[in-house]
Amino acid sequence: MDGDATAGMTGDTLRALYGTPSAIVQRKTLDRLDEHCRAFIALSPFLVLGTAGVDRTADCSPRGDAPGFVTVLDDKTLLLPDRTGNRRIDSLRNVAENPEVALIFFIPGINETLRINGRAAISTDAALLATLAVQGKAPHSALRITVREAFLHCAKALIRSHLWDPAAQVERGALPTLGKMIADQTKMIEAGEADKVIAQSYKTTLY
């Protein structure tokens, strides 16, 4: 069998390959948000949201704002604002079809992460969205997420990647500007003009 092939792989064969997680790893998975999860979320300015459509196609999307931008309503419920973006609405379209979501929270300078799995519903309730306003602007919608699983993830991935190490930072000039890359990919705009449009959007439409 091809070493990269997945044919014939099952949960049992994968378990035999990797072994069994320790009792602590299994027990640390909570069905609610405890004080440690709440503290982590309050300090987190960034997360990655995972969703999937009914056709099983998956998507990951970054979400970021001031620390604590995700509201903890209670031990089982989170509120995630959907700020102004590119209007693709990939995540929202997926949630409309399939409510299962996954989130991973990051805190700059801390190598551990927080993972949360649950079910989301899209809210457009004006009173609720008003509580999430920034610079006088409320989001168009928010995800109300019911927590099914919450657990702290060890630091190995971030240690290996040196993500927060200043010495590992890549100079911006290592890649072309975003405008240049989009111009090359779309053939619809000049690189200089694209960079101007992007810079203006960062100034005026973050919220």
pLDDT tens sequence across 24-33: 988 899 999 9
Task: Map tokens 């903890």 to a residue.
Answer: 72
* pTM given for the model: 0.93
Q: Are residues 119 and 159 in the same domain?
A: yes
- How many CB atoms are closer than 10 A to CB 11? 7
Q: Are residues 63 and 155 in the same domain?
A: yes
Q: Are residues 177 and 200 in the same domain?
A: yes
Distance (Å, rounded) from C-alpha 189 to C-alpha 186?
Answer: 7
What CATH number is given to the structural domain containing 43?
A: 2.30.110.10
- What single string gives the DSSP state of each residue in 113-171? EEEEEEEEEEE--HHHHHTT-BTTB--SEEEEEEEEEEEEE-SHHHHHHTTT-GGGPPP
pLDDT above 70: residue 2: no
Among 165, 143, 46, 138, which Cα is nearest to 94's?
A: 143
Element (H, E) at 73: strand 71-74
Q: Are residues 83 and 179 in the same domain?
A: no
Q: What is the rounded average pLDDT of the residues 175-188?
A: 98
DSSP letter assigned to residue 173: G
Distance (Å, rounded) from C-alpha 1 to C-alpha 13?
Answer: 14
First-to-final CA distance of the chain: 51
Q: Are residues 38 and 72 in the same domain?
A: yes
When divided into structural domains, the chain yields a total of: 2
Task: Map tokens 């069994």 to a residue.
Answer: 20
Task: Output the pLDDT for position 1.
Answer: 43
Which domain covers residue 111, as residue numbers? 19-163
